[in-house]
Amino acid sequence: MPAHAPAPHTPVPHAAAPDAPIAPAQPQAASRRGFAPWLAQTNDVTSVFLAAGQIPDLINLGGGLPEPSLWPVEELADLAAAVIRSHPAEALGYGPIPGLPALRDLIAARCSTANLRLTRDNVLITTGGMQALELVGKVLLQPGGTVAAQSPAYLGALDAWRPHVPRYRPMRIERNDHDPRAAMQGAQFAYTVPNFSNPSGRLVSLPERQALVAAAHETGTWLIEDDPYGVLYYEGAPLPRLLDLSAAGHPGPYAGPVVYMGSLSKELTPGLRIGWVVAAPAMIAALATAKQGSDMCTSGLSQMLALRALEGGMTERIRPAILSLYRARRDALCAAMREHLAGDLDWQVPSGGMFVWATARDPRLDTDRLLQVGLAHGVCISPSSVFDPQGQDRRSLRINFTLNPPEALEEGCRRLARAIRATLAA
């Protein structure tokens, strides 16, 4: 196996992003004068659909938000009060950059299997999975570097790496003739969401997983496995992680090519902002160095809450309710789509996650335009252009089913059907 050592990090100068609240898109050229050039390449459609959540009476099928009533609010409130009193230094002080040792140990144990031995040195606690993506960019991307990315790609990852202005090579994993080695050769890393990808909802099959891992070993390319949705399987047994596959036949402490990212956002609450990376110790050390220049440490209060919640089995307790609610909403959305949108869109029912990816039957339907027309009809979708590094794919859309109850999903589909007709008629 080729050695997996992080390439030396070359810092890329960039201006601080303005932290103004998200506002609908406007011509940005003037307001961006004096900022780094990558800001001018940001797709303005993104800000439109991110801001849409704030429009009253809008049915938001565009975001990727969980159902808040699933959060164990009282239990978390009691735990928060308890850990602040019992562990004020850990909860309220600065902590070690890679995370609280007890939480790193717990994540190492939780992610270990009979064939995969992980220790604390394999684990970095991050401020959400988002920070893990950002740190990977800081550590691995050199100016003009290349990322081999599953296509379509998660918008947050594209946003995290935008300051480095990478070149993207699409990995069309689902195509039978696709050989990931061609895309991965010479890339600084490959990026995949194997479980119910955001945005496509697609589950990468076992043979496809095996091909990705074999290609990573062969080409010496780091393989990023972003896995926030591995806890949201509605049917079928979970497939092995790329992390598991990459450890097979390599006994001993994990030192393979996979950089695995997990998060508590889907199985507990996103506001705790707790994520983790599992990877070879050299990669963890490099990411920790980058984290120092990012936030010093993840909130100690959040880490203590995560530790106590996981130790106490809170995630296992609430999982059945999460799965049955989201499964029912997935079914309600797909039934409403069959009723109202079957003539307009093609899609596959996802077996997990939070999204249905649909493609317009009529090639004249421009989904950037559909976003705007949909807002006027009281429904928001995510257009495919924001998940395309080049911003060019305008044939598809992502529909979220976790946030809205069945009646709203049905009404959202009705409005979407009207918006499609209006878009095509214009």
The residue ranges that bind ligand PMP (CB under 6 A) are 64, 128-130, 154, 156, 193, 198, 226, 228, 263, 265, 270, 275
The separation between CA 253 and the C-alpha centre of its own chain, rounded to angstroms, equals 27
CB of 422 to ligand PMP, least distance (A): 30
CB of 226 to ligand PMP, least distance (A): 5
Burial status of residue 47 (CB atoms within 10 A of its CB: 0-12, 13-18, 19 or more): middle
CB of 253 to ligand PMP, least distance (A): 26
The separation between CA 182 and the C-alpha centre of its own chain, rounded to angstroms, equals 24
Query: Of 149 and 416, which CB lies nearer to ligand PMP in the complex structure?
Result: 149
Query: Of 189 and 423, which CB lies nearer to ligand PMP in the complex structure?
Result: 189
Helices assigned H by DSSP within 87-205? 88-92, 101-111, 128-140, 155-161, 180-184
Instruction: Look at residues 278, 277, 282, 285 and name the one whose alpha carbon lies nearest to residue 247.
Output: 278
CB of 228 to ligand PMP, least distance (A): 5
Query: Of 146 and 265, which CB lies nearer to ligand PMP in the complex structure?
Result: 265
Query: Of 193 and 216, which CB lies nearer to ligand PMP in the complex structure?
Result: 193
Query: Of 152 and 180, which CB lies nearer to ligand PMP in the complex structure?
Result: 152
CA-CA distance, 116 to 171, in Å (whole number)?
27
CB of 273 to ligand PMP, least distance (A): 7
CB of 355 to ligand PMP, least distance (A): 9
Report CA-CA distances (Å) from 239 to 33, 155, 236, 267. Answer: 48, 24, 9, 18
Minimal CB distance residue for ligand PMP: 128
Residue with tokens 């009533």: 69
Query: Of 43 and 298, which CB lies nearer to ligand PMP in the complex structure?
Result: 298
CB environment 195-206: b (16+ within 10 A), e (fewer): bbbbbbbbbbee
